[in-house]
Structure 1
């Protein structure tokens, strides 16, 4: 396998060498992370071998495997859509559909494996939550907060509880297990039944 490192050789057509190297490294990290052994399968040596790069190519970009894993996870998990703001229900349904669709992606098992290894790798999990999860939860919190301010949702709503009640049913099933038609909408409506402002 040709090593994808920076060097003086003529550049092949297509993507710049450094971009191709980074993509290969991220893909290799995600493939290893999706394996049955999860985080334990990932090492700089294993990633370098799978990606066809030298270890120095990886270390020039990331100081350790934890930083590499978090970057790879952030790359694989697309940002949530910015809701239109038409109504709380429409915004939550849009976000719920996006969350439920993620389990069909190639590397869905990666996230499951990282969460499952939180006890063994608490620093990695904490960094993953900070970099990948919390910005996404901020989008959900903002929708709920707007609903409180508009009077659609109860005053004094516990936003963290509301986020947990939405995300839980959409993320706790095993990866690649598809939801039935209309599941995202059903989750949102069940949530709203409990948090709507009284009429």
Structure 2
């Protein structure tokens, strides 16, 4: 199975050519504001424009409201999902685990948690984030698990949603739990990915 590369869903608009530099500055400014303690409440189109060094009309020309902007900014934090070899469930899950883990090692990944903490006050933002950012990536994991059931590598009675949540949750929470930086970050990340995948497979393998 081959994963479709994920890109930030910034919509193309008619008119004069978009400035990639302005787009990047606006998304970076949004992430910086989200990473501060105020989270969603600290983001406004005016504040983003001021932080990015552009005019407010420049922001509105690209995004109609701050909810749309926040979703696109959070999507920009995600690494594109890699192509999957499709040779074994373990190999593909390990590839995905590494990629998911990489999304949560940057210092600004805390902005995701700031946003999640305010989703109860912004249900439409949560729904859009799930639909456009989270679900397409979870569906790739589901596809690997479904294939594993079909090939007999995984248990026929596997609860796909539980297995997805176990894998994604374990790799996501590493950026949430405070810990001293490892002496070998790359090695620690690899050991974590292998440990999570192998522990999961011990419970779901046929």
TM-score normalised over the length of structure 1: 0.85
Q: 1:132 to 1:19 in 2, by over 3 A?
A: same
> What does the per-residue CA deviation read over 1:90-125, in whole Å, with 9 as the maximum and x for residues that have no partner?
111111111122222242112122222121211111
Larger RCO (alpha carbons 8 Å, 6+ apart):
2
> What does the per-residue CA deviation read over 1:76-98, in whole Å, with 9 as the maximum and x for residues that have no partner?
21222121111101111111111
Structure 1 stretches of at least 4 aligned residues deviating more than 6 Å after TM superposition = none
Q: Does 1:190 align with 2:191?
A: no
Which of these two proteins has the greater Rg computed from alpha carbons?
1
Q: Which segments of 5 or more consecutive residues in structure 2 lack a partner in the other structure? A: 1-16, 183-187
What's the CA shift for 1:35? 0.8
Alignment of 1:141-160 (within 5 A): 141-160=142-161
> What does the per-residue CA deviation read over 1:131-179, in whole Å, with 9 as the maximum and x for residues that have no partner?
1111110110011011011100011322111101111111124177568
3-state DSSP of counterpart to 1:164 = helix
Q: Does 1:91 align with 2:92?
A: yes
Measure the CA separation in 1 of the matches of 2:32 and 2:90: 36
Q: Which segments of 5 or more consecutive residues in structure 1 lack a partner in the other structure? A: 1-15
Q: Does 1:81 align with 2:82?
A: yes
RMSD: 1.8
